Amino acid sequence: MAFEFLPETIALIPDGNRRWAHQHKMSVFNGYELGVGKFIDFSRWCMDYGINNVSVWALSPENLKRNRNEVRALFTIYKKVANDRKMLDMIHDNRARVNIIGKSSLLPKDLYKALHQLELETAHYRGRTMNLLIGYGGREDIFHAARNFANDVKKGFGATVERFKSELLSSAVPDLDLIIRTSGERRLSGFMPWQSYYSELYFSNKLWPDFTKRDLNLALLEYGKRERRFGR
């Protein structure tokens, strides 16, 4: 399929795993597990198109307020994926660097250790990047940066936009060209407020486990029709 032009950076808010599980009379655990597996597919699709910087919002601070068993299920799935040979082979075969972004203090120590190990093992890769936002919230990101920025200024460092950005938890993520959110929700819910400044937004009615490569194609076709003037 020919596209007029493609985003260089793409981000995903994969909504609808619980609703999908309820509709199919499956456990929430199964819904989340399928959702995580679908993100592996999504990453591969993006790489097929030469989109080499992919971000996904895996867990927000608000998500941690859900039923304790649901949160525990998510932690279990993420730890499993971090050690999954299929996932690791895909990452290494594509020489993709993995960045773990968020407040590590919100995660169980064994999960953080597994994710951090993945980050260390791929740190030397260049060209392709997967940003996993886990324990990430937009307000927390800005607050973290503001607090550290204020300390920098007190120490005599220059008060610049670039320095402020460097203090973000998400400083490794460039500005986002396209953000996709599934399940019919039409809001960002605090997703990467700094990087989404001039992002194009695409909302799919599909629940995340039902999202296919064809749905990604539709999003990319729509993106190609947008006139991106960046305020000019």
**Would residue 154 count as lying in a domain?**
no
Q: Which amino acid is at 228?
A: R
Q: Would you call 15 a catalytic residue per the annotation? A: yes
C-alpha span between 21 and 74 (Å, rounded): 14
The model's pLDDT over 129-184, given as tens digits with 9 standing for 90+, comes to 999 999 999 999 999 999 999 999 999 988 999 999 999 999 999 999 999 999 99
Total number of residues shown for the chain: 232
The residue annotated as part of the active site, out of 15, 141, 177, 215, is 15
pLDDT at 1 over 70: no
Q: What is the Cα 52 distance to its own chain's centre?
A: 13
* Predicted local confidence at residue 86, as pLDDT: 78
Q: Which two tokens stand for residue 43?
A: 């990453």
Q: Would you call 215 a catalytic residue per the annotation? A: no
Mean pLDDT score across all residues of the chain = 94
* Predicted local confidence at residue 55, as pLDDT: 97
The residue annotated as part of the active site, out of 52, 63, 148, 217, is 63
Which CATH number covers residue 195?
3.40.1180.10
For residue 232, name the pLDDT band (cuts at 50, 70, 90).
Answer: confident
C-alpha span between 42 and 36 (Å, rounded): 10
Mean per-residue pLDDT, 34-56:
93
Q: Note down the domain range covering 132.
A: 9-136+176-221
- Number of structural domains, the chain? 1
HSE of 185 in the Cβ direction (CA atoms, 13 Å)?
17
Among residues 66, 73, 138, the alpha carbon closest in space to that of 101 is found at: 138
**Would residue 142 count as lying in a domain?**
no
The model's pLDDT over 76-86, given as tens digits with 9 standing for 90+, comes to 999 988 888 87
